[in-house]
Copies of this chain bind each other. A is one copy, B any other.
Amino acid sequence: MNARLETSSESVAGSAANLLSVLRADPPLVQCITNAVVTGFTANVLLALGAAPAMVDITGEAGGFAAIASGVLVNLGTPTPEQRAAMREAVGGAGTAGTPWVLDPVAVGALPVRTALAHDLLALRPTVIRGNASEILALAGRTLGGRGVDALDGTEAAADAARELAGRTGGAVAVSGPVDLVVDADTEIRIANGDALLTRVTGGGCALGAVMAAFLGAARQTGDTPLIAASAATLVYTVAAEDAARGAARPGSFAVRLLDALAAVQPSELAARAHVDAVRAVAA
């Protein structure tokens, strides 16, 4: 049973505009412990947007840096032993210092080493979890029964799992797909911006996790919730993707233009362009 609530399309877009302004005025320092495939693209996304990336992912440095960073991304895409140890150190440092952090459990459920790590990190209560529907379902321990997630209706297939995870962490959970879904324990926000070309560029999803960490950093100044920060990050990123796709029908050009668009997107244009819907979700 759902009901309209104070978090409306307008308020999400308004918060996104405000957070983007704050981010550019005072660039958050975003620690990224991320996979080897997307490090360069992720750093470029953050730089283009106006944030300050720092890929501090070795033991002996990751924990101390997480304590002073504005936000931390932990992405499990290619988790070497050294990086796994650094992730635990960073999450420990973030927890002690109160630094918000994002968990992106890439391919959780399908591969054993990262699956075990993802569950350990989940218990440490990430501020935001970001993944696709399959990953969110796997992290919540849900089986899909006889049919795979691809047979289901995109992100909606993972809505219950996302809400359950949010209940366990006390934070927000973002499910990426044609319509992005961001939830916390009692609110669901759907964002229908973006472009399918994001799935044809490696790091299209992973970099969004870093952008969420940047917006969580900005939200420490505004007091916005993880739900709003993650939604704002998604909105800004997917609006930029729409700009990038305009006139670039192919993935190589699109990736270049996405960086350009992230540098160009203005707080003032978000309200008119947002396709956002927010509802209160009452657990069954």
Contact = CB atoms under 8 A, between A and B. Distances in A.
Contact of A203 (B40, B58, B253, B263): B40
Interface string A46-64: 0110000111111011001
Interface in A59-85: 60-61, 64-65, 77-82
Contact of A82 (B38, B40, B80): B80
Contacts of A36: 36, 39, 55, 57
Contacts of A35: 55
Q: Tell which of A37, A44, A64 has the most Cβ of chain B within 10 Å.
A: A37
28 contacts: A36-B39, A36-B57, A37-B40, A37-B53, A37-B55, A40-B203, A44-B201, A44-B202, A44-B255, A47-B201, A47-B202, A48-B250, A54-B107, A55-B78, A56-B78, A58-B78, A58-B80, A58-B113, A61-B111, A64-B111, A64-B112, A250-B263, A251-B259, A252-B258, A252-B260, A253-B257, A255-B259, A256-B256
Interface in A3-50: 35-41, 43-44, 47-48
A142 interface: no
B251 A112 contact: no
Interface in A168-183: none
A37 B43 contact: yes
Contact of A77 (B37, B44, B55): B55
A282 interface: no
B82 A48 contact: no
A60 to B, nearest CB: 4
Given A37-B40, A113-B61, A200 B251 contact: no
A264 interface: yes
Given A43-B202, A44-B202, A47-B202, 8 more contacts: A37-B40, A40-B203, A48-B250, A58-B78, A58-B81, A58-B113, A80-B82, A253-B260
A112 B60 contact: yes
For the side of the interface on A, what is the size category?
35 or more
A58 B80 CA distance: 6
Nearest to A204: B47
A114 interface: yes
A81 B199 CA distance: 32
Contacts of A263: 200, 250-252
Interface string A255-271: 11111110110000000
A251 B259 CA distance: 6
A56 B37 CA distance: 11
A38 B41 CA distance: 9
Interface string A106-121: 0100011110000000
